[in-house]
Amino acid sequence: MTLTVRQFACLSDNYGFLVRDDATGLVATVDTPDAEAILSEIEASGWGRLDLILNTHWHADHTGGNERLKAETGCEIVGPEEVRRAAPLDRVVVDGDLVRLGSTAFEVMTTPGHTQGHITYRSVEGALAFVGDVIFALGCGRLFEGTAEQMWDSLNRINAWPETTTLYCAHEYTASNARFALSLDDRPEMQAHAEAIFAARERGQPTVPTTVGAERAFNPFLRAADAADFAARRAAKDGFRG
């Protein structure tokens, strides 16, 4: 039931995640931004195998490595139906489904807004979740396919998880997100949180993962008053040059 997560930077600003179920040694990758980088990380980990791909949505920086990784490892590919627009997929999952990796179970939750079929994977026992491009540290995904109402609902479903839940976001956008957050929120604790983020990035350190508690406290999208306020904030962020 214990999981080990290896997080690594790839492409321009994506994070890749390898996950091992410690009891059985089974290994999954969350999304496939870069097959070469994922194969290198498997090598570096010494874990020696890839059993499962968990796709969050169909975008190329999340599914681009599916075909090669399947060909090289024979792994099973799980994801939302929309992945078939871009890449091979073996098993379609929907809201409430469980996906097993050895002794670990991930619960699928539908979180549309960035794309129509976007899903997240949460290990309830591990108190962690892989949230793709729905929520970022101090940010949220752009509304490429869905409506602001859908995204507001998706963010609130994540916000309903326990505050200690660790959130593995798929991109490092946090410094830019922090500048936007500061434009809306001048509380001293917000300023301190942003300063810590800027300092981490100066040192080249990741700001992912985050937690539900940190996002509840500081994420300007979770802190919107209602769906209309969320929509206005999302539109302002799209045009923000900070």
Catalytic residue annotation: 57, 59, 61-62, 114, 133, 171
Minimum separation from the CB atom of position 221 to Fe ion (A): 17
Contacts (Cβ under 8 Å, ≥6 apart) of 235: none
Please report, as residue ranges, which positions from 116 to 145 form the binding site for Fe ion (by CB under 5 A). 133
Cis, peptide link before residue 80, omega less than 30° from 0: no
* 118 near Zn ion, judged by CB under 5 A: no
Minimum separation from the CB atom of position 4 to Fe ion (A): 24
Stretch that binds Zn ion, among 48-56, 80-88, 128-136, 220-228 (CB under 5 A): 128-136
* Phi, psi at 241, each rounded to 5°: -120, 95
* Phi, psi at 190, each rounded to 5°: -65, -40
Find the binder of Fe ion among 21, 34, 51, 61 (CB under 5 A).
Answer: 61
Residue 82 or 133 having the CB closest to Fe ion = 133
3-state secondary structure at position 133: coil
**At what angle are helices 35-45 and 66-73 packed, to 10 degrees?**
40
Residue 51 or 61 having the CB closest to Fe ion = 61
Minimum separation from the CB atom of position 26 to Fe ion (A): 25
Give the type of residue at 155: L
Residue 86 or 105 having the CB closest to Zn ion = 86
Stretch that binds Fe ion, among 17-25, 58-66, 83-91, 117-125 (CB under 5 A): 58-66
CA–CA separation, 139 and 224 (whole Å): 12
Please report, as residue ranges, which positions from 3 to 62 form the binding site for Zn ion (by CB under 5 A). 59
Stretch that binds Zn ion, among 29-37, 68-76, 96-104, 129-137 (CB under 5 A): 129-137
- List of E strands, the chain: 3-10, 14-21, 27-30, 52-54, 76-79, 91-92, 98-101, 104-110, 119-123, 128-132, 135-136, 139-140, 166-169, 210-211
Residue 19 in contact with residue 103, Cβ under 8 Å? no
* 34 near Fe ion, judged by CB under 5 A: no
* 133 near Zn ion, judged by CB under 5 A: yes
Q: What is the contact mask toward Zn ion in residues 172 to 211, using x (rule: CB under 5 A)? A: ----------------------------------------
CA–CA separation, 181 and 19 (whole Å): 31
Q: What residue ranges bind Fe ion (CB under 5 A)?
A: 61, 133
Q: What residue ranges bind Zn ion (CB under 5 A)?
A: 59, 133
